[in-house]
Structure 1
Amino acid sequence: MIKNELIFNNSLQRIDKLKCESKEIEDLFDSLSKIGDIIIVGGALRDFALDDAPRDIDIIIDSDSPEDFNDALKEFDCYRNRFGGYKLIISSIEFDIWSINDNWAFKEGIHNSKFSNISKGTFYNFDAIALNLTTLQLDADIFIQTLNNKMLDITLEEDFIPLNPTPEVNIVRAFNIREEWGLNFSNRVSRYISEWFETTASPYEVLQKAELKHYGRATDQNKYRLSL
């Protein structure tokens, strides 16, 4: 069973290991620490909890100064993505780095931009996990409850759900989470998927393209069925 202590301890140990194995990763964390709190979110923390090596690490920095980011990352081979974040690859790990104010939920005004609201602004409860490496604060209660209840649900209030810009990616992820983690869909998730299918032209083709772009593969259409 995954608990807060396991996530916290494993994450710190794995991050220290990455720094020891790669001087460039150590330099990256050192540079980022000079401009604001370093907050790791999402999948990397799940990987750390299971003692797996992450493919990518999403980092939020509690700073909103473009000059600070440019200065901190000037020695690294990185580029801006279309959502305003910075992307770079070190030792086969993809790092996505964002200002806290570029977090989607904060930009949309759904929550105020602070650490305690990061988990509240995720689309799924499965993604509601964040670790502040600077203050050593872990926010994983919603994620742990999700695993205990074995239920994938939407975290956002109803009015904010349509604001999410990538519904096809959300749906691909829902089916992958169900397949890999054995979570059931809540009524809200099932309704969200059903309504998207009803209003989208060639939905299976759209999902396969999204899966190919997001995961590098496209599986059989039968995967995208609400009933198991």
Structure 2
Amino acid sequence: MIHLGCAGWSVSAALAEQFASAGSHLQRYALRLNAVEINSSFYRPHRPQTYARWAASVPEGFAFAVKIPKAITHERRLIECEAALDDFLHPCTQLGQRLGCLLVQLPPSLEYHTVTTRKFFEQLRRRHQGAVAVEPRHPSWQAAQAMLDDLHIAQVAASPSRFDTDAQPGGWPGLVYWRLHGEPRIYHSAYPETYLKRLAQALRRSGDAGVPCWCIFDNTASGAALADALALERLLAQGVSQID
């Protein structure tokens, strides 16, 4: 129920001894953590063969989250995206059962608009019935909760928080997606043990309630993400009662 990983699967030299010595970075990574977020899809398309190769490199139970391209979210700003969605989703299908979630990260300037926003997510839902999470960064998205619930779209719990209600999971309650960018220095700072303990408890509560959870560390710029993910993995293995 808990998909834990990083934004990318690079294995740093400092942590290499905690991973298998043979295989590609993805193969070594996937033997320790059970999920990864593909962020490169935000910047450029990948061939179907590439997704197929990635899917074949990981063990049973491993899952990929795939970030929707910025051409859709930042350039078209969710408007008239049907052809672009088709072009993005077709190669992704080569992940097969390893395709765990789609991530829609929005620009900070993109406000929630009742008509155009719903139209986009309805277009997406007609093409993809699996898990979807959205990371809005404009406070107007606090008004989107009913629409997200209706279309089974989870709202990311973001760190650092951008507006009043995004520090905790929102939207459709049937999916939880934590996206941790680092605090106080975004993309760089590691998380203290006290934060990771609270996070482990929150993930366990969701998992025990039968809600699929994603937890992705995006504080990759200085290499903190992988160490944080491994630390959280250890805390989850201990159980909530032992980390109070």
TM-score of the pair, normalised by structure 1? 0.30
Structure number with higher helix proportion: 1
